[in-house]
Amino acid sequence: MSRFRRESDPLGLVSFGGLLIVAAIVIINFPNVLSDIVVWFRSWEVGGPKMITLNLIWPLIWFLAGNGISNLVLSGVRAVTWIGHRKIVSDAFGGVYLILASFLFREYAAGLIPLTILLPSLIIALGAMILIGSIVSYIVNRKL
C-alpha cells in the first residue's frame, strides 16, 4: 500500500488540448513547418545536431509563446477553481519560462544576440525558473 495518494488532475487534458491548439495554429500560419522540421532533422545525418534553421525560428517563437500563454491561463484557472492547486506555481513558472525562451529566440532571430549568448541564457533562465519555482512552491504548498 502506497503512503502517497495521487491527486487527480482533470485540467491535465485541458493543458494537452491547449498544446494541440497552439501546434495547429502554428501549422496553419506556417504551412511548410512540418517539411522544414523533417529537412532539419535529416541535416543531422552529416555532422550531428545543428542549430535550428532560420525558417524554423519563427514557428518555434510562436509555439513557445502560445504554450507559455496557455500555461499562464491554465495556472489562472487552477487558482480560481482550486482544481489541481498544487500545480498553480509550476504552470505559472513554466509559462513564464516559455515566454522568456520565445523572447530570447526572437532576439536571436533579429540578430540582436549571438548563439553564444542564446544557449547559455536559455539554460540560466531554466535553472532560475526551477530554483525560484521550487522555493515559491515550497512556501505556497509546504511541499517540494
Structural domain includes residue 73? yes
Which structural domain, as residue segments, surrounds residue 115?
A: 54-144
Q: Which is nearest to 104 in space by CA: 140, 141, 68? A: 68
- Which residues, 6 or more positions from 25, have their beta carbon under 8 angstroms from its beta carbon? 62, 66
Structural domain includes residue 23? no
- Which residues, 6 or more positions from 40, have their beta carbon under 8 angstroms from its beta carbon? 50, 52, 53, 56
Structural domain includes residue 82? yes
Domain count, the chain: 1
69-88 per-position pLDDT tens digit: 999 999 999 999 988 888 89
Per-residue model confidence (pLDDT) at position 6? 64
Least confident of 3-17, 32-46, 100-114, 121-135: 3-17
Residue count of the chain: 144
Is the pLDDT reported for residue 96 higher than 90?
A: yes
Per-residue model confidence (pLDDT) at position 11? 86
12-46 per-position pLDDT tens digit: 888 899 999 999 999 999 999 999 999 999 999 98
pLDDT mean across residues, the chain: 91
Structural domain includes residue 134? yes
Structural domain includes residue 143? yes
Structural domain includes residue 71? yes
Per-residue model confidence (pLDDT) at position 101? 98
Share of the chain above pLDDT 70, in %: 94
Structural domain includes residue 21? no
Structural domain includes residue 118? yes
